[in-house]
């Protein structure tokens, strides 16, 4: 069973640029959630995708957007990067929606630094 993978591992961007982060969900999982974890803080929910549709969004501005593909992999896009966007971005996958006991499995994250 393949776990959740994310790419790239690290990324350095400058303020105002755009970035795309990628996530491959665990085999058999059709739900992907994205979280932002600032240094010394707990992860904060950005949004969730289920079967290619956004299914819930946290308190993040519209410049944070996402996609889920037919193979359930996902992308997180951030436009107009700000210094405060520097964080570890985590992707988590889980299996069928509606089964509330299904838990989320996290990838290793992408560390984004905005200069």
Contacts with another protein, residue ranges (CB under 8 A): 4, 31, 33, 35, 40-45, 48, 56, 58, 90, 92, 94-95, 97, 99-109
| Min CB(106)–another protein separation in Å | 4
Judged by CB, which is closer to another protein: 15, or 103?
Answer: 103
Residue number, 2 or 100, with CB nearest to another protein = 100
Count Cβ atoms within 10 A of the Cβ of residue 57 and give its class: 0-12 exposed, 13-18 middle, 19 or more buried.
middle
Query: Pick from 74, 80, 102, 76: which is nearest to 89 by CA?
Result: 76
DSSP helix/strand/coil, 54:
strand
Residue 81 or 92: which CB sits closer to another protein?
92
43 vs 66 by CB, closer to another protein: 43
Shortest gap between Cβ of 39 and another protein (angstroms)? 11
Least CB distance to another protein at residue 115 (A): 20
- Identify whether 25 is preceded by a cis peptide bond (ω within 30 of 0): no
Q: CA–CA separation, 29 vs 79, rounded Å?
A: 28
Contact at 8 Å (CB) between 91 and 105? no
């Amino acid at each position: 069973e393949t776990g959740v993978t994310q790419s790239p591992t690290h990324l350095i961007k400058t303020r105002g640029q755009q970035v795309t982060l990628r996530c491959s969900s665990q085999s058999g999982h059709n739900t992907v959630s994205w979280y932002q974890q600032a240094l010394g803080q707990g992860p904060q929910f950005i949004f969730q995708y289920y079967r290619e549709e956004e299914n819930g969004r946290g308190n993040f501005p519209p410049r944070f957007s996402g996609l889920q593909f037919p193979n359930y992999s996902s992308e997180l896009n951030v436009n107009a990067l700000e210094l405060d966007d520097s964080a570890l971005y985590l992707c988590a996958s889980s299996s069928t929606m509606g089964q509330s006991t299904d838990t989320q499995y996290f990838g290793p994250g992408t560390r984004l630094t905005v200069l």
